[in-house]
Structure 1
Amino acid sequence: MEELEHKMSAWGESLWSFHLPRWEELPELDLYMDQVITLVDHYLSPVIHSDKHTLLTASMVNNYVKNGMIPPPKKKRYTRKHVAFLIAITLLKQVLTINEVKQGILFQGKMIGIRQAYNLYCEIQEAAIQQVCAQATGHKKRNDQSENDEIQFLAAYSASKAFANKLLAEKVIALQTSYLKEGIENE
């Protein structure tokens, strides 16, 4: 059991300083598809690694363009706006459907703008990852008194929390989608 706890703690420590690039840190130069895919993989590989599939492929990007989730590239070049969308989409699709991701992005973009929404999302995601790191290393945050961090309960607790947070996110997105539709109809 001690070896398992040590490995869990080491994993948590390795992710403690995980950082998503803010809008201003994304490349200013336009990029080609293969460069975008490499860059997104570089940014997200510390938190999403799977032997089963690639994080992002050219066909995924093309589908996101086709479905109106990201703007089409200009002359086969992608901007920092594209990279920001692709980072958020790649992370969010881990727990939400593509349609829910699209609705959430549309809502946030309309409410506070793409740049601010992206930066806020990065802050929120990093805080959530740090909370998980705190659990994995055995350090509780001030607001987490009721959580059981013992290694034998951590998977069940984390899966339950992920499910509950997914339910909440789905409900909020449904309400936001309804709000946007009502706003469009009332215009």
Structure 2
Amino acid sequence: MKINMDELLDSMLEGISNMDYVRSEDIPNIELYMDQVTSFMDEQLNSSKRYDDDKILTKTMINNYAKNNLLPPPVKKKYSKEHVIVMIFIYYFKTILSIKDIETILTPITEKYFGTDSAVDVASIYEEVCDTAKSQIQNLKDEVREAYETSQNTFKDMEGLSDSDREYLQLFSLISSLSFDVYAKKALIERIIDELPEPVHKKK
């Protein structure tokens, strides 16, 4: 195994720089049928797939979201722009959070701001949090670079290792460091959620 670690770092940092989100203005401001929603999500989030056959959103997923109180029901089998935004939130949250946790954090949003005429609505909340997340890109790149540089200093003085073994162990060290970062942040998120009240759904 031979991995060019500098090229790997450059590739990771480039990937972070290219991270983007579905902009609110790109979401159709008309009601969509389920097939149209799944097609839109697949097109917009295709770059986030790891494998070509990964599913972004399916009809079964949408039905399960509604069944688990994550998504307000459609109106005459049609989904609004706000429905799509909620599904985008779910798409990102579900990679690290349970369905129950997602319900806990999304219910106050959907119950208070979904379908409202006030200045604060689901779309404005989405834009605000996405802009905030986007502003953290440089900090994330700095963290990854620091983790990489730290990993390159591991196993340097350990005797009995071939160059290829040392290279792999340094790569393993980098993966472990990044994994611990994700683990720690996930634990913090869950602790915050545990302090939130149980979700209360209004009767429709």
- Equivalent residue number for residue 196 of structure 2: 176
Q: Computing the radius of gyration over CA atoms, which structure comes out larger, 1 or 2?
A: 2
Asked whether the 8 Å contact 1:18–1:46 carries over to 2, the reply is no
- Equivalent residue number for residue 177 of structure 2: 157
Asked whether the 8 Å contact 2:94–2:102 carries over to 1, the reply is yes
Q: Describe the shift of the 1:176–1:88 C-alpha distance in structure 2 as closer, same or farther (beyond 3 A).
A: same
Q: Describe the shift of the 1:21–1:130 C-alpha distance in structure 2 as closer, same or farther (beyond 3 A).
A: farther
Asked whether the 8 Å contact 2:16–2:137 carries over to 1, the reply is yes
Matched, 1:122 2:130: yes
Aligned mates of 2:139, 2:31 — CA distance in 1:
34
- Equivalent residue number for residue 116 of structure 2: none
Deviations 1:58-115 (Å, cap 9, x if unpaired)?
Answer: 1010111122211111222211111101111011000000110111112355497533
Structure 1 window deviating more from structure 2 (109-118 vs 63-72): it is: 109-118
Q: What RMSD in Å do the two structures reach over aligned CA positions?
A: 2.9
- Equivalent residue number for residue 94 of structure 1: 95
Asked whether the 8 Å contact 1:33–1:58 carries over to 2, the reply is yes
Aligned mates of 2:147, 2:16 — CA distance in 1:
20
Q: Describe the shift of the 1:77–1:130 C-alpha distance in structure 2 as closer, same or farther (beyond 3 A).
A: farther
Gaps of 5+ in 2: 114-119, 152-169
Aligned mates of 2:8, 2:57 — CA distance in 1:
28
Report SS of the residue matched to 1:69: coil
Deviations 1:97-151 (Å, cap 9, x if unpaired)?
Answer: 0110111112355497533332233234434555444455x3xxxxxxxx43236
- Give the number of aligned pairs: 172
Identity %: 28
